[in-house]
Amino acid sequence: MLLAPVAAAAPDDSVRIYRCVSSNGAVTLADTPCGQGREEIREMQRPRDPPTRAVSTQVPVPAEPPTPAPAREVRYVHVQPPQPMYACTAADGTRYVSDSNEGNPRWEPLWVNAWLAPPVWRGGGTGPRLGHGGGPRPPRPPAGSGHGPRPPLAGIGVPGGSVLVRDTCSPLPQQEVCSRLQDRRWELDRRYNSALQSEREAIIREQRGIDARLQQDCGSR
């Protein structure tokens, strides 16, 4: 009987198997030594039960949905362009500044030329005939000369309505606008001390408007 080498193993961790081969070649496996025939001994690892899993009776709580990311806030900033200022020239050549390009609109009379026709002769007769104003007409042209040359027409100017006239205005550069506002602010400060109480209230209102405009359009006071 041939014995296979057996590796050392702990009794609790291995099991010994006997492989028996009879004289007629039949092979059997047993956990006890073979009585007859050829015997082979094999050490095998003892099978173990899987570890017991703990079964929880608690109802699983559904996972909370992920918190959505906060919505991105979009802000629109409207930048107001600087308020323009215009340099205007009046009809007499004087210059002034205005916040409007209307150019001091005003209605002026419209003059047209009217031509007065000279008196003419009508009909025959020898006596004098009355003219336009009830006076005697001028003498008739001599015979044979026809009506003679027509005297020139007299023209006079008469009003024919009115027309809207505007002064010529052009925008000023922004740097000059700021300089003019500062000069006006300083001028109001000088006038304040010698002004009446009613005038001071108007000066204060104008100063507030200039201060707001300097801060918004010029970034300073």
Over residues 121-146, mean pLDDT: 51
Over residues 159-175, mean pLDDT: 87
Residue 4 has a pLDDT of 46
| Residue 209: C-alpha distances to residues 85, 100, 151, 179, 187 (Å) | 14, 16, 66, 15, 14
pLDDT in tens, 42-93: 887 777 777 777 776 777 778 888 888 888 888 887 778 899 999 999 888 8
DSSP summary character for residue 214:
I
CA angle 32, 34, 35 (to 5 degrees): 120
Residue 119 has a pLDDT of 56
Computed on alpha carbons and rounded to an integer, the radius of gyration of the chain in Å comes to 63
Which own/partner pairs from 201-210 qualify as long-range (CB within 8 Å, at least 24 positions apart)?
210/181, 210/184, 210/185
What would the two tokens of residue 9 be? 């193993």
The region of weakest confidence among 17-21, 99-103, 133-137, 205-209 is 133-137
What would the two tokens of residue 80 be? 């107001």
Average of per-residue pLDDT values in the chain: 76
Task: Tell whether the model's pLDDT for residue 125 goes beyond 90.
Answer: no
Whole-number percent of the chain with pLDDT over 90: 23
Whether 148 contacts 183, CB under 8 Å: no
Collapse the DSSP code of 149 into the 3-class scheme (helix H, G, I; strand E, B; otherwise coil) and give the result.
coil
205 pLDDT band, cuts 50/70/90, is very high
| Residue 143: C-alpha distances to residues 119, 136, 147, 151 (Å) | 18, 20, 9, 18
Task: Tell whether the model's pLDDT for residue 130 goes beyond 70.
Answer: no
pLDDT in tens, 95-122: 999 988 888 888 888 776 666 555 555 5
DSSP for 83-102, written as a single string? PP-EEEE-TTS-EEEESSTT
Most confident listed range (3-17, 146-160, 191-205): 191-205
Phi-psi region of 145 (alpha: psi -120 to 50; beta: other; left: phi over 0): alpha
CA angle 30, 35, 37 (to 5 degrees): 95
Question: Which pTM was predicted?
Answer: 0.42
Residue 149 has a pLDDT of 54
- Report how far residue 114's alpha carbon sits from residue 160's, in angstroms, rounded to the nearest whole number: 10
Residue 183 has a pLDDT of 93
Over residues 123-137, mean pLDDT: 50
- Report how far residue 158's alpha carbon sits from residue 152's, in angstroms, rounded to the nearest whole number: 19
CA angle 171, 176, 182 (to 5 degrees): 125
User: Other CB atoms closer than 10 Å to residue 167's CB: what's the count?
Assistant: 19
